[in-house]
Structure 1
Amino acid sequence: MAIRAPYRSLRGMSAVVALLAVGAVGCSDVSDAVDSAKDGAKKVARQRSVFSLDLGDCYNPNGKAEGEAYAVEIVPCDEAHEGQVVGEFAIDEGKEYPGDDEIAAIADERCPVEAQKYAPDTWALPKGVDLYYYTPTKESWATGDRAVSCTYTAEKSTFKGSLDTVKSLKPEQTTYLNGSNAVYEALWANQPEKDTVEDDLAGYKAQAKAVAAALDTHVKGLDGIDGTEVGKLRATLTKAAGNWKKAANAADADAFYTAYEPAFTDIDPNESVAARKELGLATTVPADEADVWAG
């Protein structure tokens, strides 16, 4: 009876094991074949189980399509690679497998938080890098697998170097990033499912309340940071917090919209570029964020 090793699920891309094969070649191609064989041998030697992935590991998934995995190629971070583990946690659930959707929902919520602990400035990420995660499958769950590995992965390219930037940040940079990240986390994590305020005024007001609270904390953190541009941003965000509070207390949809428009405009990431430059942080607004505020 064949015994199959348990897999883990990778959301967004596949890492199905595929070992490099070397075909027959002519004499003129011997050198290339030797080099290819060496590369293949190195790749095979670097294969590791996805169950052994650790925080900080740089790796290349085996495969490109969405699916399941049981091995990846671990590589030194100074070599070109497609992914790096930037967060990990265990799912605290009962004995029964909670289902694919529930597992994905947990990872969707936790991985952005864990990744920001490791690489707080998402603006500084290499181009084309997105957040993915390895999660237990029903089969691996039965063997005791509860771990989630959060990764930044470049699906169509590679990058070099570690994304572990938290240790190199200055105190004022950390304060800024923690506050800024919390604001946008409050915005997106509390996004109501309904498309219009009229269909869920209570939900949109709850979102506004969460964003206002995060802004208050962010502004308080900026109070302790010197700089002309930081001061300007502090004033803009103070005004934004006031409008988010008005939205949170709106009596009806019309009052909500009146407060929401300037509230949303004043947290446009472009408003923070000058302050980020003053703090020595990345200044290119990520494309997905730019698209949202571009309308």
Structure 2
Amino acid sequence: MAIRAPYRSLRGISVAAALLAIGAAGCSDVTDAVDSAKDGAQKVARQRSVFSLDVGDCYNPNGKAEGTAYAIEIVPCDEAHEGQVVGEFAIDEGKEYPGDDGVSTIADDRCPVEAQKYSPDTWALPKGVALFYYTPTKESWATGDRAVSCTYTAEKGTFSGSLETAKSLKPEQITYLEGSNAVYEALWANQPEKDTVEGDLAGYKAQAEAVAAALDAHVDGLDGVEGAEVGKLRATLTKAAGNWKKAANAADADAFYIAYDPAFTDIDPSKSVAARKELGLATTVPADEAEVWAS
């Protein structure tokens, strides 16, 4: 109950502010004051506890996007908003609170997976949108809170429209996206902590093995997808898979580097633009991905 108290207080303050705006207005400003009061009342009416968020909800945070929150403003998705809930799951980690870092690690691992179920094509996301999440705090955990809400939130400004695209995709688009997403997930999820191959050859070889396996699966999936550009991409990815396998079996760091360079180059996202266009998918490489392959 203590956790919900600030939420109730917040609503009360908002209502009072809206009513005071009317009382303080002069006669010539009555229309503006009424409009302002209506806006304030609407904002209050749209408040919802963060404990009751649902997948698909579009919202505006009350304050900063990051930090402790008790309530947010739920808005229609066709209105400008700062975020949308795109996935949720419950933490199953026993009775003890995993700690702030532990909860964040779980959310970091699970939210990208949940978000891709809702918005499989990250290239189609509005510019400046990033993955955030609402997680239990130590206090809310003690009351039984285990829910994590995964959201795409604008780091600056707002966006309009729902980010749900999974239901509108064609089978061949889904096949492509599932395979492509798995390749890059294998790459980044298995990134060794050491920043040099010499420092962790075994780790880099394990990463290469994971990427090669994901590429093999992606290539197999594309075998049933028609299109000249898709065929060209499939050939490029087949070559890439071969080089990743060479890297995975490298005898030493030098051999790894020789295989890794063409392997990494051939999964440059820009090489998939033509095939994406042919499939009717977004064709602008996200800035953060383009930066990685440009460096």
C-alpha separation in 2, matches of 1:3 and 1:147: 18
Instruction: Give 2:136's aligned residue.
Output: 136
Q: Which runs of 5+ in 2 are unaligned?
A: none
TM-score (norm 2): 0.93
Task: Tell me how far apart the structure 2 counterparts of residues 152 and 74 of structure 1 sit (CA, whole Å).
Answer: 14
Superposed CA RMSD in Å reads 1.8
Q: Is the 8 A contact 2:46 2:73 kept in 1?
A: yes
Counterpart-to-counterpart distance in 2, 1:212 and 1:6: 52
Quote the residue 1:267 is aligned against: 267
Tell me the matched-pair count: 287
SS state at 1:199 partner:
coil
Does structure 1 residue 242 correspond to structure 2 residue 242? yes
Structure 1 position 225, deviation (Å): 0.6
- The aligned counterpart of 1:5 is 4
The residue identity in structure 2 corresponding to 1:153 is T
Structure of greater relative contact order (alpha carbons < 8 Å, 6+ residues apart):
1
Q: Give the deviation of 1:155 after TM superposition.
A: 2.6
C-alpha distance in 2 between matches for 1:65 and 1:239: 43
Aligned partners of 1:65, 1:149: CA distance in 2, in Å? 13
Deviation, 1:66, is 2.5
SS at match of 2:260: helix
Aligned to 2:43: 43
Q: How many angstroms does 1:116 deviate by?
A: 0.2
Query: Deviations for 1:180-231, whole angstroms, at most 9, x for unmatched residues?
Result: 0000000000001111010000111000000000000000011001111001
Render the CA deviation track for 1:29-82: whole Å, top value 9, x for unaligned. Answer: 332221111011000011000010011111111112521011111111111111
SS at match of 1:198: coil
CA distance in 2, matches of 1:3, 1:281: 47
Q: 2:220 aligns to what?
A: 220
The answer to whether the 8 Å contact 1:7/1:68 transfers is no
Counterpart of 1:74 in 2: which secondary structure? strand
- 2:67 is aligned to 67
Letter in 1 for 2:167: K
**1:4 to 1:108, Cα distance in 2 relative to 1, 3 A:** closer
Q: State whether residues 5 and 70 of structure 1, in contact with CA within 8 Å, keep that contact through their aligned partners in structure 2.
A: yes
Counterpart check, 1:187 vs 2:182: no
Q: Is residue 7–residue 69 contact of structure 1 (8 Å, CA) maintained in 2?
A: no
**1:125-164 maps to which residues of 2 (within 5 A)?**
125-164=125-164
Give the match's secondary structure for 1:230: helix
Residues 3 and 139, structure 2, Cα contact 8 Å, conserved in 1: no
Where does 1:69-84 land on structure 2 (aligned, <5 Å)? 69-84=69-84
1:7–1:139 contact (8 Å) kept in structure 2: no
Aligned mates of 1:118, 1:4 — CA distance in 2? 30
**Which consecutive residues of structure 1, in runs of 5 or more, have no partner in the other structure?**
9-15
Matched, 1:19 2:14: yes
Given the two structures, how large is their TM-score scaled by the length of structure 1?
Answer: 0.93
Letter in 1 for 2:91: I
